[in-house]
């Protein structure tokens, strides 16, 4: 039997290493996809963002722009939702990068899942949790089946990849219009199961922005 020459042995080892690395990459991708579809509660507890570095709205908007650029999203506007505010305050801010300021605000109610109350929301990305989600999301041009006047959301973080499968959207609800003048918007199962549920007037503003471009817009929800 003819012996393999040393230089050919090195080449074979290198080829084998490339094949192994490729298989590891495929397996890693499959593992991430499987993780995104599982229903293990601990896998979908939202990460708590370190907001100490974003003391001002300008700093948060700058951080959001960096994410938008990495994800290939629009760079003219972003939406920032601060769930640490009471629902009776306008939690959603529309930031314009052209004007470098907040150009509109609207009210947002939260989901009722996991024992959340009108005063204290609970957050989860678990399928069927009916909780509001945290993190970075893309506002797509796809509309929901049950709520036609809506924009479906797509999770961008490792812990909110289920946002799309959960069917979360940004959409208006008459319930928010009726109760946003109160300190806290009462929870209402038919109006919000974790979606970014806002006022009719707020939706009109977002629709105008979405109609300006075909690209997806960044939404950042934090607490």
Q: Is residue 101 part of a domain?
A: yes
Q: Is residue 183 part of a domain?
A: yes
The reported pTM is 0.77
* pLDDT score of 192 more than 80: yes
Q: How far is Cα 120 from Cα 72, in angstroms, rounded to an integer? A: 34
Shared domain check, 104 and 49: yes
The pLDDT score that the predictor gives to residue 201 is 96
Shared domain check, 92 and 146: yes
Shared domain check, 15 and 69: no
Shared domain check, 96 and 30: no
The pLDDT score that the predictor gives to residue 96 is 97
Shared domain check, 101 and 78: yes
* pLDDT score of 138 more than 60: yes
Distances (CA, A) of 28 to 24, 34, 35, 160: 6, 10, 10, 18
pLDDT digits (tens, 9 = 90+) for 57-114: 999 999 999 999 999 999 999 999 999 999 999 999 999 999 999 999 999 999 999 9
Shared domain check, 189 and 98: yes
Calculate the average pLDDT of the chain. 83
Shared domain check, 95 and 23: no
Mean pLDDT of all residues in 155-173: 95
Shared domain check, 52 and 26: no
Note down the domain range covering 100.
Answer: 43-222
What is the band of 135 on the pLDDT scale with cuts at 50, 70, 90? very high
Nearest 5°: the CA angle 147, 135, 170 is 15
């Amino acid at each position: 039997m003819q012996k393999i020459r040393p230089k050919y042995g090195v080449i074979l080892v290198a080829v084998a290493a490339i094949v192994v690395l490729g298989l590891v990459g495929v397996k890693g991708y499959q593992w991430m996809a499987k993780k995104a579809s599982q229903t293990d509660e601990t896998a979908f507890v939202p990460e708590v963002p370190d907001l100490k570095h974003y003391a001002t709205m300008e700093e948060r908007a700058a951080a959001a722009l960096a994410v938008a650029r990495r994800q290939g999203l629009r760079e003219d506007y972003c939406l920032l939702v601060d769930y640490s505010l009471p629902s009776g305050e306008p939690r959603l801010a529309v930031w314009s990068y052209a004007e470098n300021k907040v150009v509109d605000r609207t009210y947002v109610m939260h989901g009722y899942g996991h024992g959340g109350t009108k005063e204290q929301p609970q957050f989860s990305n678990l399928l069927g949790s009916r909780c509001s989600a945290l993190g970075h999301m893309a506002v797509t041009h796809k509309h929901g089946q049950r709520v036609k006047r809506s924009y479906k959301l797509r999770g961008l973080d490792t812990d909110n990849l289920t946002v799309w499968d959960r069917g979360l959207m940004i959409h208006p609800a008459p319930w928010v219009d009726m109760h946003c003048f109160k300190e806290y918007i009462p929870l209402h199962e038919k109006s919000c199961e974790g979606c970014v549920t806002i006022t009719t007037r707020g939706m009109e503003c977002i629709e105008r922005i979405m109609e300006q471009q075909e690209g997806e817009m960044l939404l950042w929800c934090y607490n």
